Structure 1
């Protein structure tokens, strides 16, 4: 049974201008080392500079045979703007000001993300793809894999360069193998991309 293996990661730590920091480059190189033994067919990344640079950094450690290319579906976007009655109170200010056209555009990107990456392979061979993207698209892919309500992308957060793995097989629900795994990162490189607070 052919399987699509998605190795999904948020870009490395970035500065206020959206460029990778030294920490972000180190994080993505460690991610590349973790993935180096896998038969990666393609590395796809968001068009934003922090994702482009992350893909280049981790690819240093891959076999070199996998093409690295941009996938517009991986762009940073809000995948679903919830109705007021389904919005947690703490999120209400975040969505204030989203107009209908903006919300629809984000949702269309989210649907194209699912259409492109969340299905089983068409042929008989396995596919191994690395996706370098952002926290919200990762949350949307996890929500879809769980067949959860659309609003449940809220609260699914990913650290920089953390690894999420989803497997898609024909006629079976997606399998979430891991989510937000940081075991390839030293303790001082973990939990970036989250608000400052106590961490385990």
Structure 2
């Protein structure tokens, strides 16, 4: 069988509402969510744990990595919180009008015109080598939505509405002889009902 690359995508745990400043870390519930996920993933032979620069992503990665002894953890800007928006003049990237106001309001530092950064992230983690590889990426809701949209070969805008619970688990598989495969999406079997937080339909980022 051809070698596989499996990418485990995790939305960060619930962020704190008590911290002030632009980059809050995890709430107590968020830490419990990450701990539960770490327990679930402890048998997976990860090659590395990657996380975006936001405090909530870094803290989630550290909580999970406590259950993965010997696995390297590092920050990667490809896992940063960005929002794919249509590039100017690209008719193939047009979005339904009902989403236009939301995308127009995305702050400049968070905008990813044409999903250039997100396409680079897919290319980076979706590479297939000579041996099986397991990568854990702790990132954000829209980033995971884009990866799923890519795997399903859906329209540019269809990442919208593909929302995850905090510490929900999505798994994608790549092989050289096949298109990407969505193994699981927003799996929260490791989270008791009382620790799941807000429902995904209420989440925007």
Q: TM-score, normalised by structure 1?
A: 0.87
Partner of 1:111: 119
Partners of 1:43 and 1:55 within 8 A in 2:
yes
Q: CA deviation at 1:167?
A: 0.8
Aligned partners of 1:11, 1:18: CA distance in 2, in Å? Answer: 12
The alignment partner of 1:115 has SS state of helix
Quick check: 15-24 or 97-106, which moved more?
A: 97-106
Query: Match for residue 86 of structure 1?
Result: 95
C-alpha separation between the residues in 1 aligned to 2:80 and 2:143? Answer: 8
Instruction: Tell me: CA distance 1:105–1:190, structure 2 relative to 1, closer, same or farther (3 Å).
Output: same
CA contact (8 A) 2:85 2:103 kept: no
Moved more, 49-58 or 79-88: 79-88
| Contact residue 78 and residue 106 of structure 1 kept, 8 A | no
CA contact (8 A) 2:85 2:114 kept: yes
Matching residue within 77, 80, 90 for 1:75: 80
Specify every segment of 5 or more residues in structure 1 that has no aligned partner in the other structure, as ranges: none
Tell me if 1:160 matches 2:161.
no
Q: Report the 3-state secondary structure (helix = DSSP H, G, I; strand = E; otherwise coil) of the residue aligned with 1:44.
A: strand
Give runs of aligned pairs for residues 1-200 of structure 1, distance below 5 A.
1-16=2-17, 17-62=23-68, 64-81=69-86, 86-89=95-98, 91-97=99-105, 103-105=111-113, 107-120=115-128, 122=129, 124-192=130-198, 194=200
- In structure 1, the partner of 2:20 is none
2 CA distance for matches of 1:101 and 1:54? 23
SS at match of 1:61: coil
* Structure 2 gap ranges (5+): 18-22
Offset, 1:40: 1.1
User: How many equivalent pairs are there?
Assistant: 193
TM-score by length of 2: 0.85
SS at match of 1:119: coil
Q: Is the 8 A contact 1:81 1:103 kept in 2?
A: no
Q: Is the strand fraction higher in 1 or 2?
A: 2
CA distance in 2, matches of 1:144, 1:174: 8
2 CA distance for matches of 1:184 and 1:28?
A: 10
C-alpha separation in 2, matches of 1:33 and 1:24: 14
Following superposition, the deviation at residue 80 of structure 1 comes to: 2.9
Backbone CA RMSD of aligned residues: 2.5
Q: Is the partner of 1:141 in helix, strand or coil? A: helix
CA distance in 2, matches of 1:6, 1:141: 10
